[in-house]
Structure 1
Amino acid sequence: MVKFLLIALALGVSCAHHESLDISPSEVNGDWRTLYIAADKVEKVKMNGDLRAYFEHMECNDDCGTLKVKFHVQMNGKCQTHTVVGEKQEDGRYTTDYSGRNYFEVVMKKDDALFFHNVNVDESGQETNVILVAGKGETLSKAQKQELGKLVKEYNIPKENTQHLAPTDTCNQ
């Protein structure tokens, strides 16, 4: 019962911030890379953290009712590739299982960059808010970085918990 209440709270907090943006296959399908990541529980996204996801590829079906994400994590110097399929819910958020239950959505689209908000509820019921920015290039523009800063603040993630991931990806070299 407590786990259910925590999940309900996580979903309620997530809904209070942004509405999910609709996405289309033409905007999503293809190769992507994680540019920035931030989390309220920074240990989850630090090196060797289970939520430090390096995106590789995304694709969705015709109406983006499912969103498939291929990514890897680096644990103790070893690269582990994962593929998850998010199922779109009535509220526009996707749900999938990886290192617990995840409730994610696209909260912003800006010039070849997708900004995701994810609520991860791990096996112990601990909730982690994550902002992940996936892009086609190496970094974000100044305006995109400002938008990232606003999102991080909006989700009560300390600014210092924001990390530029692209230079730390040693699996795809």
Structure 2
Amino acid sequence: MPLTFEFDPPVDAGLRDGVLALWAAVTNAGGAVGFVPPVTPEDVRPEWVRHLTAMSEGRTRLLVGYDEDGAVAATAFVTLNTHRLMRHWVWLYTVMVHPARQRGGQGRELLAAAEKAVRGLDGVEAIRLTCRGGLGLERFYASCGYREVGRVPGAIRVADGDDRDDVTMLLPLDAGAPGPGRLN
């Protein structure tokens, strides 16, 4: 079943609990969303609070995908640039689809919904995101139209002796946008 998306949903206890449960489930399934397993929703809560703070300050916006029962099944955080020379692009952070719904097209749905939401923001010409190397995420994002525009080898230390590349991906929103790495 397709997901139903909402940009800037009202934040209440149900949303909070849904996002925290999703974040823990994705992490514990090996997802690259800022933690290494095992985690509980309580372990993730401080990062959720940081996201909430950024949302309350107008720097970050939340996109949520709900399943047919109304449960949180996917999220992405859109972070606006505050630097006056970089306001023409946004960051996409903490892109998550519940492990039980992965490989069924919901990741593509989430990225399409994020693109649609960002296209509605005044003056935004591109979406950037980073992903952890070694998991095949670059291929997935590339299949959704993103291009690799940067890579820092070994920048992410998952564990002692397990360093991964930090990969930057870009999705220009204008068909006439410049090539990789050049946003005017």
* TM-score (normalised: structure 1): 0.41
* Structure that is richer in strand per residue: 1
* Structure that is richer in helix per residue: 2
Structure number with higher relative contact order (C-alpha < 8 Å, ≥ 6 residues apart): 1
Q: Which has the larger radius of gyration?
A: 2
* TM-score (normalised: structure 2): 0.39
